[in-house]
Amino acid sequence: MKQIGMAETNNHFLGLFNKSPFYNIIKIISIILIIWVILRTFFPSFFFTKKYSVTRSNIKYIFYSNKDLDIKVLEKFTDSVQKNISTSSLFRAFSEKNPHTNLFICNSPVLYSFLVPFNRKGFATSSKLTNNIYISNLNLKTGLATTYPKSKKVTNTILITHEITHLMLYNSNIYLKGWIEEGYCEYIAYGSNIEVKKMLKKSTNDKYIKYMLGVSFLLKQNNNNLKKLENSNINNEIVLEEIRQHEL
């Protein structure tokens, strides 16, 4: 009798909760969140009015924007990105496996935050699930991309090459940890051609350059075999100190 009474009490309170305005609010919010996740993940093109396509080798670069883009400038920019990513040992397999890459140029803090809420202050975000790249603010005329607020700048080529390298890693059987992954993406973004002394000076204010220098050094030590850097737990600062000793 006691157990039946408890069940009746629970059902009574559940019934009251289901009829309450609070329940309806939670239900509406849940539905909105589900719709948002589906749209931002699988149908981000819904929020863009312009679409441009540039094909290089086996890869079709599909650009989405809400502003007109100069196709000639876009093609030249794509050429520079293609040149850099082709220096990666992962490029061939990626180009054969992934015939297209979607790039969403937001150029709006509201739109970028809506699509990428967890990296709203970043330059760009690449999606492992969909192979999409979301770009905060990219200017083809100046050749520079910025964050929101516009406190940081990087060249368009370096930014997009960096993000596509993330996609190449996602689609490979190589799993790099922490700073090594970011460093490799930056290494390819610079065309795999690093002026060590020059970059050492810049590295004091840029952690990504520190990562890049570390990866460049480790690759040289391992005959450019990226697989050998997998599961490495070496500290970036230790590698940098060794680089400084070699350069002094």
Closest to 130 in 3D by CA, of 98, 156, 177, 90: 98
Q: Which two tokens stand for residue 161?
A: 């090459």
User: In Å, how far from its chain's centre is CA 234?
Assistant: 24
**What is the rounded CA–CA span in Å between residue 222 and residue 228?**
7
Domains detected in the chain = 2-42 (no CATH), 47-172 (3.40.30.160), 173-248 (no CATH)
Q: Which two tokens stand for residue 17?
A: 């909760």
Between the alpha carbon of residue 190 and those of residues 5, 187, 194, the distances in Å are 71, 5, 7
Q: Is 32 exposed, middle or buried (0-12, 13-18, 19+ CB in 10 A)?
A: exposed
With beta carbons less than 8 A apart as the criterion, state whether 172 and 159 touch.
Answer: no
With beta carbons less than 8 A apart as the criterion, state whether 180 and 211 touch.
Answer: yes
The per-residue pLDDT string of the chain (248 residues; one tens digit each, 9 = 90 and over) reads: 444 445 555 555 555 445 567 667 777 778 888 888 788 888 899 999 999 999 988 899 999 999 999 999 999 999 999 999 999 999 999 988 877 899 999 999 999 999 999 898 999 999 988 889 999 999 999 999 999 987 789 999 999 999 999 999 999 989 998 899 999 999 999 987 788 888 888 788 889 999 999 999 999 999 999 999 998 888 999 999 988 887 76
Peptide bond before residue 109 is cis, with ω within 30 degrees of 0: no
Considering the entire predicted model, what is its pTM? 0.86
**What is the rounded CA–CA span in Å between residue 164 and residue 87?**
12
**What is the rounded CA–CA span in Å between residue 93 and residue 210?**
28
